[in-house]
Structure 1
Amino acid sequence: MDPIFTPEQLAEIKAYHLPLYIRSAVSPAVYLGVLLFILGVLVRPFYRGAESCAGWLTQRLEFLRTAPVLRVVIQAMDRLWGEPGWGAAILFALFVDLFLELVYAPSNTYFGYVLEHRYGMSAYTPLRYALDELKGIAVEGVATSALVLGLYGLARRVKRWWLVLGIPSALLLLVSSALDPYRSRVFFDQKPLEQGPVRERITALMASADIPFQDVLVEKTSVASKRLQAYFAGQGPTRTIVLNDVLLQELAPDELLAAVAHEAGHVHEPKWPGRIASSLALVALLFAIDRLLRHSAARGWFGTTRFADIRTLPLLWLLTFVIFFLSTPLSAAFSREREREADRYALRLTQDPDAFRRMLVKAARVNKMDPEPPRWVVLKGHSHPPIGERLAAVPPPAPGPQTPPAARDVP
């Protein structure tokens, strides 16, 4: 079997991944240090600045309270918060988010733009990269504002707020994947795959797999990245097969079907146990946050004067960081096993190990996958098994017909 990479390609792969491995090793300590700096130094000045800005905006924008539509929204926020101050709370949270964005901007730019361009993995122009970064910051800002109003506002008004918020949030988490087809459209254009043999073969493959779907879409990610990507988005009536345009350019039809078959394997995974566990974990996290907020209020940490004081927000980020840091290796191990099972499912569905092997090799070459990453990197949080391991699990091609002994040349 031919090697995945030539020696020159392998050397380039190792050079590309080395900075990524270094970041993986140091990023937890860096993020922990930044959070501790915010808690120890910046909480008080950020809060004073948020109060000042909120007071200034209240004076200048008082007319919004009588605007036809906005007054209803503002009144609802007043009732949710229960007292004046929700504007300062939102501004404080946005100050913390903005500070984190500024701290990580050089690193994000290097790894998201400079390194990717250096090794031919990115098609971003500086303008598009900046616009997508701004989109991400805007989406995060909206999510943070909703979190502040929902979590802190409810915690101020309801004693067992963690149950009141946790149960509907857990139920929403169970069905949130139905919205997946619409999320990526914030960043990339999508259009239906044109009618033709490829679409017909995908449809036939999904019929064999007994997987109903709404559509096959082509996502134009080549404007930003040169990586291959395929995924299923949504559930039930919203299930959509999404193929990026790079995949269609790089893979032959049989190889493309192998990629779709792998993603189909994830559809048949037993998802409900994981979803139920995630929902229960969410309720448990909210209960832990409730205990932390009460302890902070009792001790007066960071100048807090009452329960659910917004100044505890960085402390919640610290709590969630510790929980995810400790749980990621375990969840990644389960993810790697699901990927192995999806590979096995794809091989059973297509009955074409040669096409599956070629698909993996092309994906490894185009996406510059390290065939043998350091073991600690895999254990720390790799969601997929190393590509070398996946290829080794593919059955070898069947031997060709043998020439009868009598017909062989005699030396």
Structure 2
Amino acid sequence: MEPIFTPEQLAEIQAYHLPLYIKSAVSPLVYLGVLALILGVLVRPFYRWSESCADGLSQRLAFLRTAPVSRVLIQSLDRLWGEPGWGAAILFALLVELFIELIYVPATIYFGYVLEHRHGMSAYTPLRFLLDELKGIALEGFAVSALALGLYGLARRMNRWWLVLGLPTALLMLGASALDPYRSQVFFEQAPLEQGPLRERITALMARAEVPFQDVRVEKTSVASKRLQAYFAGQGPTRTIVLNDVILQELEPDEVLAAVAHEAGHVHEPKWPGRIAASLALVALLFVIDRLLRLSATRGWFGTTRFADIRTFPLLWLLSFFVFFLSAPISSAFSREREREADRYALQLTQDPAAFRRMLVKAARVNKMDPDPPRWVVLKGHSHPPIGERLAAVPPAPEKRAPAEGLPVLTEPSH
């Protein structure tokens, strides 16, 4: 059996992954240190600056309270918050988020741009890299503002706010996957896969798999990355098969079908138990936040003067860190098992282990996958089994019998 990598390729992959493994080990400690700095030193000056800046903006932009459109929005925010001060709350939350982003700027540039270019994994220009990072920061800023207003606004006005917020949010989570086809288009252009044999074969494969879909689209990620990728986005009437342009350049049609078959395996997974569990976990997390906010108000942490004081906002980041850090090994273990099952499904659907193996080998080479990552890295949060393990599980292709001596060799007509 052909080895996945040459010795030279393997040496480069190890050089590429070593900084990533160091980052994986060090990053939690760095993040905890940043949060400790914010909670121990910066909460009070950040809050004073936010109040001062909000007061100044309120005076300069007072005309917005009487303008036809902005007046309605501002009155809605006043009612949500229950009293003056929502401007300072938003600014404080954004300042905390911006400070964390600025601390990580060197790591973001090195791991997102320098390291990727050094090993030929990125096609980013400096300008596009900057623009995509700014898009991400803008989206995070919007989410942080909505969280600060929604969570703290409701908490200040309702006793069981965690239930009032948690149940509708949980329901939204159950249906949010229908929006998946549109999220990635914020960053990358998409176009329908052109009519031809490949689209026809994908359509026939999905018919055999009994997977309805809306469209097959090509995502033009080669402007930023050299990695190949395929995924399904959306649910039901919005389900879309997305192939990036790199996968179409690097793989043969049979190998593309193998990748699509693997993704189709995820469609048949029992998703509702996981979604319901995630929704219940969200409600439980909001209840824990409620207890934490009440404890903070009782103890007067960080200068808080009342329940749901925005100065406790960094505590939510700390709580979220521990929740996700402790749950990641468990959720990733389930994810790896789902990936194994999707591999088995794809092999059964296509009946072409040779193409499936070639797809995995090419993906490993193009994406520079470590065939044997450290065990602690896998357990800490790998969503996929190591590529070496996945290849070992692919059954050998049936050998073609040589024709008996003297008999003609039948060949398929060329096309």
- Report the TM-score range of the alignment, normalised by the length of the smaller protein: over 0.9
Q: Deviation per CA, 1:342-366, whole angstroms, max 9, x where unpaired?
A: 0000000000000000000000000
Does 1:44 find its partner at 2:20?
no
Which residue type is aligned with residue 24 of structure 1?
S
Moved over 3 A (4+): 402-407
Does 1:133 find its partner at 2:145?
no
Does 1:164 find its partner at 2:148?
no
**Counterpart for residue 235 of structure 1:** 235
Q: Secondary structure at the match of 1:217?
A: strand
**Counterpart for residue 331 of structure 1:** 331
Q: Secondary structure at the match of 1:191?
A: strand
Does 1:31 find its partner at 2:34?
no
Matches within 5 A, 1:326-405: 326-402=326-402
**Counterpart for residue 200 of structure 2:** 200
**Counterpart for residue 272 of structure 1:** 272
Deviation at 1:397, TM superposition (A): 1.5
Q: Distance in 2 between matches of 1:371 and 1:130?
A: 32
Q: Distance in 2 between matches of 1:217 and 1:63?
A: 47
Deviation at 1:155, TM superposition (A): 0.4
Q: Distance in 1 between matches of 2:134 and 2:297?
A: 35
Q: Distance in 1 between matches of 2:231 and 2:64?
A: 44
Q: Deviation per CA, 1:62-113, whole angstroms, max 9, x where unpaired?
A: 0111111111011000000000000000000010011001000000110000
Q: Deviation per CA, 1:212-236, whole angstroms, max 9, x where unpaired?
A: 1010110000000000010000000
Does 1:123 find its partner at 2:123?
yes
**Counterpart for residue 177 of structure 2:** 177
Matches within 5 A, 1:223-262: 223-262=223-262
Q: Distance in 2 between matches of 1:239 and 1:42?
A: 45
**Counterpart for residue 298 of structure 1:** 298
Q: Tell me the TM-score normalised to structure 2 length.
A: 0.97
Does 1:148 find its partner at 2:158?
no
Q: Secondary structure at the match of 1:109?
A: helix
**Counterpart for residue 59 of structure 1:** 59
Which residue type is aligned with residue 335 of structure 1?
S
Q: Distance in 2 between matches of 1:118 and 1:134?
A: 23
Deviation at 1:404, TM superposition (A): 6.5
Q: Secondary structure at the match of 1:205?
A: helix
Does 1:219 find its partner at 2:219?
yes
Q: Secondary structure at the match of 2:241?
A: strand
Matches within 5 A, 1:102-121: 102-121=102-121
Q: Distance in 2 between matches of 1:240 and 1:146?
A: 29
Q: Distance in 2 between matches of 1:350 and 1:249?
A: 21
User: Is the contact between residue 332 and residue 381 of structure 2 (CA under 8 Å) also seen in structure 1?
Assistant: yes
User: Is the contact between residue 352 and residue 397 of structure 2 (CA under 8 Å) also seen in structure 1?
Assistant: no
Q: Distance in 2 between matches of 1:399 and 1:243?
A: 31
Structure 1 unpaired stretches of 5+: none
User: Is the contact between residue 214 and residue 237 of structure 2 (CA under 8 Å) also seen in structure 1?
Assistant: yes
Q: Secondary structure at the match of 2:68?
A: coil
Q: Secondary structure at the match of 1:69?
A: helix
Which residue type is aligned with residue 76 of structure 1?
S
Q: Deviation per CA, 1:364-399, whole angstroms, max 9, x where unpaired?
A: 000000000000000000000000000000001112
Q: Secondary structure at the match of 1:225?
A: coil
Q: Distance in 2 between matches of 1:21 and 1:361?
A: 22
Change (3 A) 1:241 1:49: same
Q: Deviation per CA, 1:134-178, whole angstroms, max 9, x where unpaired?
A: 000000000000001100000000100000000000111111000
Which residue type is aligned with residue 187 of structure 2?
F
Q: Deviation per CA, 1:35-55, whole angstroms, max 9, x where unpaired?
A: 011000000000000000000
Deviates more, 1:110-119 or 1:396-405: 396-405
**Counterpart for residue 71 of structure 1:** 71
Which residue type is aligned with residue 350 of structure 1?
T
Q: Distance in 2 between matches of 1:404 and 1:168?
A: 70
Q: Distance in 1 between matches of 2:218 and 2:315?
A: 42
Which residue type is aligned with residue 360 of structure 2?
L
Q: Distance in 1 between matches of 2:237 and 2:29?
A: 43
Q: Distance in 2 between matches of 1:242 and 1:171?
A: 26
Which residue type is aligned with residue 381 of structure 1?
G
Q: Tell me the TM-score normalised to structure 1 length.
A: 0.98
Q: Deviation per CA, 1:163-219, whole angstroms, max 9, x where unpaired?
A: 000000011111100000010011000010010000000000000000110101100
Q: Distance in 2 between matches of 1:404 and 1:385?
A: 43
**Counterpart for residue 92 of structure 2:** 92
Aligned-pair Cα RMSD in Å: 1.2
What is the identity percentage for the equivalent residue pairs of Structure 1 and Structure 2?
82
Q: Distance in 1 between matches of 2:115 and 2:388?
A: 24
Q: Secondary structure at the match of 1:92?
A: helix
Structure 2 unpaired stretches of 5+: 408-415
Q: Secondary structure at the match of 1:222?
A: helix
Deviation at 1:400, TM superposition (A): 2.4
User: Is the contact between residue 232 and residue 263 of structure 2 (CA under 8 Å) also seen in structure 1?
Assistant: yes
Does 1:288 find its partner at 2:288?
yes
Which residue type is aligned with residue 394 of structure 1?
V
Deviation at 1:262, TM superposition (A): 0.3
**Counterpart for residue 190 of structure 1:** 190
Deviation at 1:402, TM superposition (A): 4.8
Q: Deviation per CA, 1:282-314, whole angstroms, max 9, x where unpaired?
A: 000000000000000000000000000000010
Which residue type is aligned with residue 364 of structure 1?
A
Which residue type is aligned with residue 349 of structure 2?
L
